[in-house]
Amino acid sequence: MVLEKINQPGDIRKIPHDQLPQLAEEIRQFLIEKLSMTGGHLASNLGVVELTMALHLAFDPAKDRLIWDVGHQSYTHKILTGRKEGFTSLRKLGGMSGFPKRSESSCDVFDTGHSSTSISAGLGIVRARDLAGEKYSVVSIIGDGSATGGMVYEAINNAANLKTNFIIVFNDNGMSISRNVGGLSTYLSDLRTSEGYTDLKKATEDALRQLPIAGDWAVERVRRTKNNLKTILMPGGALLENFGIKYFGPVDGANIDQMVRLFENAKKVDGPVIVHVRTKKGKGFGPAERMPERFHGTGPFDIETGLPKVKKTKADWTDVFSTVMCKEGARVPNLCAVTAAMAEGTGLRRFRGMYPERFFDVGIAEEHAVTFCAGLAVGGMIPVFAVYSSFLQRGFDQMIHDVCLQNLHVVFAIDRAGLVGADGETHQGIFDLSYLSLIPNMTVMAPKNKWELADMFRWAIHKADGPVAIRYPRGSVCDSFQEFRAPVEKGRWEVLYDESDICLLAVGSMVQTALEVRQRLRQNGYSCTIVNCRFVKPLDEETLTRMAGEHKLLVTMEENVHSGGFGSRVLEYLCAIGSCVPTLVCALPDAYIEHGSVDVLKKECCIDAESIYGKVVSRFIGL
C-alpha cells in the first residue's frame, strides 16, 4: 500500500513517480470507504485527488500557502498533510473538521466554509508576504461554482496591478452543488470544449516533443502563443488578460504530470496567474459520477449501491416548505422563488420544475440575491428567497438598505437556522434572530411545527405588507402540537398551557423542548405555562406583560446566541415596563460552535430539555 507511506506533510515527494497513479487510486478508495461510514462531501473530493497531489508535488505545504475555497474539497489535502487517522472521526465533536482549520494543522492556511473567499484571502497573504520580504508561493484553489460569488471579482479586480506571483487554480468540474449557472460557466464550457483549441494543443505538442533538446522549450513557446491567441480569440479570455491576469490551461485534472508542469510555469509569472484545471466531480465512484449533486454532501452510504444507510422516515422542515411553495405557486401567479445555488438544499427543485419562469438561481451570490428580490418586489412580484441562515449573513446590508428601508414585500425562507451539526462553526445558523431583529420593518417568525410553518408562509405571502423572515432548522420537522393551531396574527403569540409558577417563552424548535421541560416540572409538582413565541419581532407585548404579572419565573428559550436574541429583547422590554419578574435566558453562548451531532451540541450548550429543567428548578428554588 503506497498510502501507508503518507504520514506527514511532504511524504508524497518521496513516492516514486511511477507509484503516483496507485497512490491516487488508494486515496480514492480510502475516501469512499471512510465516507461510506461517516458521510461528508464525497463527490467534490473524489474530483480533486490528482489535482491535490499535483499541488503537493509542485508546492511545499510546510512553506507555501494553499487556500481552499469553501474547503469542502480539502480531504486529500488533509490526507497528504498527515491526517489520515482523522477520517474516522470526521465532523464528529472533538474530531477532524470537514473544512480547513488553522487550529488543526499549520498546512491549513486559512479557515474556509463559506464560498468565494479564497482569492481575497490569498491576495492578502501575497501582500503580507511581499511586505515582509518573504519568498513562498500563494495558491488559491477555487471551484467554478464558488467563482460565481461576487467577492471573486472584487478580488480579481484588486489583484490587477499586482506585480508579484499569485497563483489561482480554477477547479472546473462544470458543477456547483447543482449544475453551475451564470455567464462564467457558459464561458468556461466554451473554453473547455473548444475543439479547435484542444486539437491544436495536442497535435502541436506531440510534434514539438519530438524535437531533440528544444522540445519542451518549443512546446512552452507555442503554448504561450496559443494562450495569447486564445485570450484574443476567445472573447471571454481577453477579460482576464485585461485584468493583467495570465491564463494557463485548460489542463486535464487527471494528469498529474501536466498539472505539475503548469504549476511550475505559473510560479515564474510576476503577477497573478490563473491555472484552469478540468476535473470530474465524483470521479472513481459510479453513483457519484452519475449523481454528483446527490453525492455533493452525503450521509453514510452503502458502497455497493450508493444507497443511504439511514433511511429517511420523516419529512424535513425543508420538505414542508417545498410543498407549501409548490401549492402557493399555483395560487399566486406573481410568486417567485430565488436561491443562491442551493435549489436542492432549500427544497426549491420541485418549484423549479413546475414554474421554471418564476424560479431564479443566481449562483453563489446571496448579497446579489437579496437586492435582486428587492427588484422583483418593486416590479410587482412576491419573491421568496430560500437561503441557509449562515449564508444569509452575506446579505445583511442588502436586507437593510435595499429591502427593509423601502419596506418591500420580500419573504426570507431561512433554512438551517439553529445548530446544523456536522458542518461546524461556519455553518451553524445561530445568529439570525439577532441580526434580523435589529432591522427596522423586518418581521421575524419561527414555527413550532409543520402546520405552523405552512400557516406562516401563507400569512407571509398573502397577508404581510413588508419584509418577513421565517426561520426553521435543519432536519426532521416537528409533528407534535397538532391540537394547537391558532391563526397567525402579526405580533400575536400562542399560549399553549396557561398555568402559574413558571412560564416558558419558547421560540420555534424550542417549543418541543419546552414541552419536555414542562413534563419534568409537572412530575415534580411545579405548574408550568408554555407560550409559543412565534413572532420574535414584533414581540407580543400584551401577552408578555400578562405573563410577567402572573408568574414567579419567566424562562426564554431559543436556538440562537444570547446577544441580541429573543431573550435579550424580552429583558429589554421587561426593563422598559419596569417589571422585576425574575427571568432566565436559555440561549446558545456567544461563541462559535464546532462540528458535532446536533443533540450532542445542544447538551454541550445546555439548551437540551434536561439542562434547561435543571437550570429552571435551581433558579426557582433560589427565588
Ligand X SMILES: CC(=O)[C@@H](O)[C@H](O)COP(=O)(O)O
x-or-dash pattern for ligand X, window 469-508, by CB under 6 A?
Answer: -----x----------------------------------
In DSSP terms, 172 is beta-bridged to 278
Do 319 and 479 form a contact (C-beta atoms < 8 A)?
A: no
- Asked if residue 364 binds ligand TPP (CB under 6 A), the reply is yes
Stretch that binds ligand TPP, among 67-75, 124-132, 161-169, 202-210 (CB under 6 A): 67-75
The C-alpha cell 391558532 sits at 486
DSSP assignment of 242-289 equals HTT-EEEEEEETT-HHHHHHHHHHHHT-SSEEEEEEE--TTTT-HHHH
387 binds, among Mg ion, ligand X, ligand TPP, none (CB under 5 to 8 A by kind): none
Q: Which of 9, 100, 145, 508 binds ligand TPP (CB under 6 A)?
A: 145
Q: Are 95 and 168 in contact (CB under 8 A)?
A: no
| Closest-CA residue to 174 (of 283, 21, 50) | 283
Query: Position 468: which residue type?
Result: V
Is the bond preceding 473 in cis, omega lying within 30 degrees of 0?
no
Of 169 and 175, the one with the shorter C-beta distance to Mg ion is 175
Residue 416, contacted partner among Mg ion, ligand TPP, ligand X, none, CB below 5-8 A by kind: ligand X
Q: In angstroms, rounded to a whole number, what is the distance separating the alpha carbons of residues 446 and 398?
A: 22
Instruction: Label the pairing between strands 494-497 and 528-532.
Output: antiparallel
Q: Which residues are annotated as a binding site for thiamine diphosphate?
A: 72, 113-115, 145-146, 173, 285, 366
The Cα 296–Cα 301 span in angstroms is 13
HSE of 103 in the Cβ direction (CA atoms, 13 Å)?
9
Asked if 47 is part of the footprint of Mg ion (rule: CB under 5 A), the reply reads no
Please choose, out of 97-105, 168-176, 482-490, 582-590, the segment that lies near ligand TPP by the rule CB under 6 A: 168-176
Q: Which of 3, 175, 436, 598 binds ligand TPP (CB under 6 A)?
A: 175
Site string for ligand TPP, 567-596 (x = CB under 6 A): ------------------------------
- Among 83-91, 225-233, 416-424, 482-490, the segment contacting ligand X (CB under 6 A): 416-424
For ligand X, give the closer residue by CB, 6 or 142.
Answer: 142
Q: Is 366 a catalytic residue?
A: yes
Q: Using the rule CB under 6 A, give the single segment among 102-110, 354-362, 415-423, 502-510 that binds ligand X.
A: 415-423
- Name which position in 6, 341, 488, 502 contacts ligand TPP (CB under 6 A): 341
Nearer to ligand TPP, 121 or 548 (CB): 121
Does 306 contact Mg ion by CB under 5 A?
Answer: no
Cell (9 digits) for 285: 465512484
Q: Is the peptide bond before 538 cis (omega within 30 degrees of 0)?
A: yes
Residue 280 beta carbon to ligand X: minimum distance, rounded to whole angstroms: 18
- 420 binding ligand X? (CB under 6 A): yes
Regarding 72 and contact with ligand X (CB under 6 A), the answer is yes
Interacting span for Mg ion (CB under 5 A) from 117-125, 169-177, 508-516, 531-539: 169-177
Q: How far is 618 from 472, CA to CA, in rounded Å?
A: 30
Please list the residues that pair with 470 across neighbouring strands: 413, 445
The phi and psi torsions of 144 (rounded to 5 degrees) equal -70, -30
Assess whether 394 carries a catalytic annotation. Answer: yes
Please state, as a whole number, how many other Cβ atoms lie within 10 Å of the Cβ of residue 550: 14
3-state DSSP call for residue 194? coil
Q: Which of 280, 281, 283, 294 is catalytic?
A: 281
Q: Choose, by CB under 6 A, the member of 253, 345, 508, 564 that binds ligand X.
A: 345
Assess 143 for contact with Mg ion (CB under 5 A): yes
Q: What are the residues facing 263 on neighbouring strands? A: none
**Is 546 known to be catalytic?**
no
Q: Are 291 and 299 in contact (CB under 8 A)?
A: no
- For 356-410, the DSSP string reads GGGEEE--S-HHHHHHHHHHHHHTT-EEEEEEEHHHHGGGHHHIIIIIITTT---
Q: Which of 91, 394, 569, 602 is catalytic?
A: 394
Q: Is 145 in the site for Mg ion (CB under 5 A)?
A: yes
What is the total residue count of the chain? 623
Minimum CB distance to Mg ion smaller for 188 or for 320: 188
- Asked if residue 510 lies in contact with residue 530, where contact means CB atoms within 8 angstroms, the answer is no
Name the residues that contact ligand TPP, by CB under 6 A: 44, 70, 72-73, 114-115, 143-146, 171, 173, 175-177, 281, 296, 340-342, 364, 366, 391, 394
Active-site residue set: 281, 366, 394
Binding site for ligand X (CB under 6 A): 41, 70, 72, 296-297, 345, 416, 420, 423, 474
